[in-house]
Structure 1
Amino acid sequence: MSTPPRPRAPMRRAAGFTLIELLVAIAILAVVALLSWRGLDQIVRGRNIITHSMAEERVFAQMFDQMRIDTRQAASDDEAGAPAIAIDGGALQIVRVFAVPPGAPPRLQVVRYRVTNGQVVRYASPPLATVGALRRAQRGGETGAWNALPMMQGVGSISARLYVPKVGWTSDMGDVRAQLDANNNGVKVPQIGNAPVPRAVTGLEVSVGARALARPVTRVFLVGE
């Protein structure tokens, strides 16, 4: 009597993933990685833009704050022997009182703001003690004795207007000199209470245009205030 054959055991499926399942998983991971990279890239770009904007704002603030100090410390027209604030040769020139220790004789200083190679540079003369030195500094160029301080880069233009009483805002130095002559001619001798001669320029408006700006930034300063 023969033994009946044993039934075959069912074949077990090999453990693992099929090729199609692997391809689908890789595609999903690629999409997730791409979306994550784009999101991270936008975050980094946004942070860089904010950081750059904040740095530019600090530079603007420092430059305009220095202009405000120079304008506030502007000498009188009598002390300068000419308009204390002038626009000449593409530069803004301010004759200011130089801070000296108590008891020391007064000194004046000529300051110029000029755009050089796309950068605003503040040129400052050494302290001036004589009228001759002041005249040479007002009419001459920036020599090696002057201090040059770079203020802001990427500047396309810088313009200024002066506020002259009875004239208004102007960029014409002829209006300033006419006002100065009128002030000097209007002085009566003796003056009541030794009142100083009025300033020919009482306000300063500065506009700075830069490549990174949609429009120029403008600030207004009071002279001697």
Structure 2
Amino acid sequence: MKRQRGFTLLEVLVALGIVAILALLSWRGLTEVLRSAERVNRVDNELQTTTAVFGQLDRDLSSLNLGTQWPGTDQESVELVDQGLIIRTVRRDTSENAFREEIQWLQTAQGLLRTVKRNQTENNNTTAPTDGLLPIQGLRVRLWREPGGWTPPVLLGNVAPLPLTAMNLQGNPLATATVTANPAAPGGEQAGGEGDSPTQRGHVRAVEVALTPANGQTVMRILLTGGVY
């Protein structure tokens, strides 16, 4: 009768070592896949947030009339303030009376905040719907005025370095209107560009906005105000 030969202890240990190495490699591969998926999701969320902010800003600015004043006041339709950008317009929905709307895009320590204040022209009821904080860590804004060109930029939060464009807008220039001007921009500098005077401001034809999300990569767009040029 033949005697059957089994595995030696050394062979068993070698087999267990090979299995352990394969398991370790598989675990590291799985961990890297999960990390890559997390990075992709984070980049995708940041891209969606940035796209949504630019889309909403574009809608807010395209709703403006071409005048420099908010009807009935000496306030401008587009204004740079210490914390960001203010857009003022008059809206009329089919189911509502006309109402004044002031949209504030403010950079806070926690992120970018969009606040809407509405005042109906008849009964003066005021509401202030507010959007949630957006994960934007830095904001840079400047205005294109006619005449005058680009105003000095306002930097808010942690804005990653990005060169200012020397772009000139094409098309027929808008007419100039005389209004009560804000004497100084944040930081004590004159808010308007060259050619402005204490009692005259050019129309705001475009707004350059640069956003820095959590990944630290700044994205810039130039958005036109309402009207066809």
TM-score, normalised relative to structure 2: 0.70
The residue number in structure 2 matching 1:74 is: 64
SS in 2 for 1:152: coil
C-alpha distance after superposition, 1:65-92 (max 9, x if no partner):
1100000012432444332100112221
Q: Aligned partners of 2:44 and 2:89: how far apart in 1? A: 31
Please tell me whether the aligned partners of residues 99 and 118 of structure 2 are also in contact (alpha carbons under 8 angstroms).
Answer: no
Q: CA RMSD in A?
A: 2.7
What is the Cα deviation at residue 200 of structure 1?
A: 1.6
Q: Say whether 1:124 aligns with 2:104.
A: no
Aligned residue type for 2:103:
V
Q: Say whether 1:30 aligns with 2:48.
A: no
Aligned residue type for 2:55:
D
The residue number in structure 2 matching 1:178 is: 196
TM-score, normalised relative to structure 1: 0.72
The residue number in structure 2 matching 1:95 is: 88
The 3 A distance-change label for structure 1 pair 90 and 106 is: same
Aligned counterparts, 1:164-175, within 5 A: 164-171=145-152, 172=185, 174-175=191-192
Aligned residue pairs total 185
What is the Cα deviation at residue 129 of structure 1?
A: 1.4
The 3 A distance-change label for structure 1 pair 178 and 125 is: same
Structure with higher Rg: it is 1
The 3 A distance-change label for structure 1 pair 60 and 99 is: farther
Q: Comparing both structures, which one devotes a greater share of its residues to helix?
A: 1
The residue number in structure 1 matching 2:77 is: 84
Pick the aligned partner of 1:218 from 208, 217, 220: 220
C-alpha distance after superposition, 1:174-199 (max 9, x if no partner):
3169379446xxxxxxxxxxxxxxx6
Aligned residue type for 2:113:
V
Q: Which has the higher contact order (CA 8 A, sep 6+)?
A: 2
SS in 2 for 1:212: coil
Give the fraction of aligned pairs with identical amino acids, expressed as a percent: 22
Please tell me whether the aligned partners of residues 84 and 95 of structure 1 are also in contact (alpha carbons under 8 angstroms).
Answer: yes
**Which consecutive residues of structure 1, in runs of 5 or more, have no partner in the other structure?**
1-8, 134-143, 184-198
C-alpha distance after superposition, 1:28-56 (max 9, x if no partner):
11111111111121111111111121111
SS in 1 for 2:118: coil
The residue number in structure 2 matching 1:158 is: 139
The 3 A distance-change label for structure 1 pair 15 and 96 is: farther
